[in-house]
Structures are given as structure tokens and as C-alpha cells.
Amino acid sequence: MNKAISIKELSHSFGKKTVLSGISFEVEKGEVFGLLGPSGAGKTTLINILTGQLRATGGCTLILGTASQDMTGEHYKQIGIMMDHFGLYERMSCYDNLRFYQMLDGNGKDGIEEMLRGVGLSEAKKTPVMNLSKGMTNRLAFARAILRSPKILFLDEPTSGLDPTTVEAIHKMILEEKQKGTTIFLTTHNMHEAEKLCDNIALLNEGKIVEYGAPADICRRYYHQKRIQLHLKSGEDIVLSYDADSGKKIKEYLEMGELETIHSTEPNLETIFMELTGRRLEKE
């Protein structure tokens, strides 16, 4: 069986409010899968269901072949979770946080120093979590999530609000985990992050999957969004569709000597999401 995660007709409601509405997709073992959507789309709710923190009101979810509601302690040892500051004790040091979870799993002390070095926290190993920056806290949360060498790694908005240098460091660690064969389930509202890291993505809006596939394949399906942008010597900017009629207009501007610059714009996940939902994918 090559499916790490299988979801079929999954639904969930909080009272009268429907958060997930009959969604279905599968995640292959060893792939980075991205769930994209704006705040309130249902991304965190889905992770909570998949990791056993919530019981769905309808549908079926399988994690490595086991229904999420039937998972035991042994099953949970095969997954890692990074969401907000989930599982970090603020008064404990970086080292003691990792040591605590290592002891819960019944492992020895080996590997903690190497893990802290890998996430750039060697010099902060004795520092309490409450004294760490947001970027350092996120790196420690990532280290805690991968400490047990999980088969599936759930990452809920792992780079939200971080500076570019820290974002790049976490992206590097995610790709290193992929190289080890880890399946990674990533939620994000950042299209650039998804395009860089993900093998496949699903666009989630108001609890429903509105598009699915490899990022490049999805963009190719919306090729009609491609535009040509002209800047004339008069200072006027003109946007043309990508077709033969536009070619004739460009030729006319060239012959009259009015064209100063020309470039094309390609469809991306943001513009595709806007077309499908009328909403922005990324935070404003």
C-alpha cells in the first residue's frame, strides 16, 4: 500500500457551522502534500482530525492504513506534529524539551545534541523556551516533531510570521525530511512555499476542495489567465490577452515606435484561487 493518507467524503461541523464538507483525496508515501487556503478555510480542523485530536462528523480517514479514530499509542509514534507551539514547555530549556519527549518514547539520550545542531539551536540548548524568538521556537517545534523519525510529518503553517532567513532554514529541513522518505502534510496560505516544496496540493475554500494536482499542472490548466503587459513611451500601461489579435496590436505599436517595454504574466496559485473563489489565498 503506497498511500500514507486516505480521505474519503470527510465532513466536520461545529454546531450548525460546517467547516469541512465532503472532501476526498490521497497522499502518497514520501511526498510533500500541501493544503492551501486562507484563514478559516478548515486547514487546521483537518489536521486535528487526521492526528486524532478531533473526531469527524462524517466520512473516513486512514493514516498508514489505520482509521484515525482507531489509532493507538504505537500508531502515534509514527507521526510528528508541528502546529503553533504545540507540545513545548515554556519554562523548560530546548534540550530538556527534546529529552522529555524522547523519554516518553522510551528512547535513550542519543541524538539530542545532533538534533539541536541540525536546527541551529546548539548555543541555545540551555535557554528556556519562553526566552526564545519566534523563529527559534519554530525551529525547536520542528525538531520536536521529527525527533522520533516519523513516517508522517504534519506541519500547520510552519513559517507563518517568520523572517526570510528562518523561512529558508525551515524549508531546507522540510526537504531534508522528504529525502529521508518522510511523508509531509503541510498547510499554508503561502503560494510560493507550496510551489517550492509540494509535489501535490489541494486548494481549500470554505471547507471544500476546489482544485487539486501538482502546482505546475494546475497552473497549466489555467493558461487562459496569461497576459501581455505593455508600457508605452507615453507612460500608458496596457494589458492584452495572449492571442493573435494582441500580436497585431503589438506590431502596430512597434511600427509607430510607441512601445517601450513588454513582458508576459503567467497564472499562479493566487490568481487561480481568485478565479475559483473570488478570494485571496495569501494574507493581505
* pLDDT of 38 above 80: yes
Q: Positive or negative, the Cα torsion across 246, 248, 252, 254?
A: positive
Tens digits of residue pLDDT in 70-106 = 888 888 888 999 987 577 999 999 999 999 988 887 6
Quote the percentage of the chain above a pLDDT of 90. 44
Task: Give how far Cα 77 sits from Cα of 71, 72, 80, 206, Å.
Answer: 10, 9, 8, 32
Among 31, 141, 25, smallest CA distance to 87 is for: 141
Q: What is the pLDDT of residue 181?
A: 94
Place of cell 486535528: 48
CA distance readout (Å), 202 to 8, 9, 33, 42: 14, 15, 8, 12
The arithmetic mean of pLDDT across residues 235-252, rounded, is 80
- 158-168 per-position pLDDT tens digit: 888 788 888 88
Mean pLDDT value of segment 8-28: 93
110 CB-near residues (< 8 Å, 6+ apart): none
pLDDT reading at 266 higher than 80: yes
pLDDT at 284 over 50: no
Task: State the pLDDT at residue 243.
Answer: 74
183 neighbors 5 (Cβ within 8 angstroms): yes
Centre a 10 Å sphere on the Cβ of residue 101 and count the other Cβ atoms it contains.
19
Residue 128: the pLDDT is 95
Interatomic CA distance for residues 206 and 209, integer angstroms? 9
- Note whether 63 and 79 are within 8 A (CB): yes
> Running DSSP on this structure, what letter comes out for residue 136?
H
Can you read off the three cell numbers belonging to residue 94?
530546548
Dist CA 158 CA 223 (whole Å)? 30
How many residues are given for the chain? 284
Q: Edge-to-edge strand order for the sheet containing 227-232? A: 237-241, 227-232, 259-265
Report the mean per-residue pLDDT for the chain. Answer: 88
Q: How far is CA 82 from CA 48, 93, 115, 238, 264, in A?
A: 11, 18, 16, 46, 39
Query: Can you give the pTM of this predicted structure?
Result: 0.84
pLDDT in tens, 193-227: 999 999 999 999 999 999 999 999 999 999 888 88
β strands within the chain, DSSP E: 3-14, 17-28, 32-36, 58-63, 66-67, 79-83, 152-156, 183-188, 200-205, 208-213, 227-232, 237-241, 259-265
- The predicted pLDDT at position 85 comes to 59
pLDDT at 109: 59
User: 99-158 pLDDT, tens per residue?
Assistant: 998 888 766 557 889 889 888 899 999 999 999 998 899 889 989 998 888 999 999 888
Comparison of pLDDT for 40 and 84, the residue scoring more: 40
Mean pLDDT comparison of 67-71, 85-89, 253-257, 268-272, highest-scoring range? 268-272
Answer with the residue of higher pLDDT: 211 or 235.
211
Contact assessment for residue 96 and residue 82, using Cβ atoms and an 8 Å cutoff: no
58 SS3 class: strand
pLDDT at 170: 87
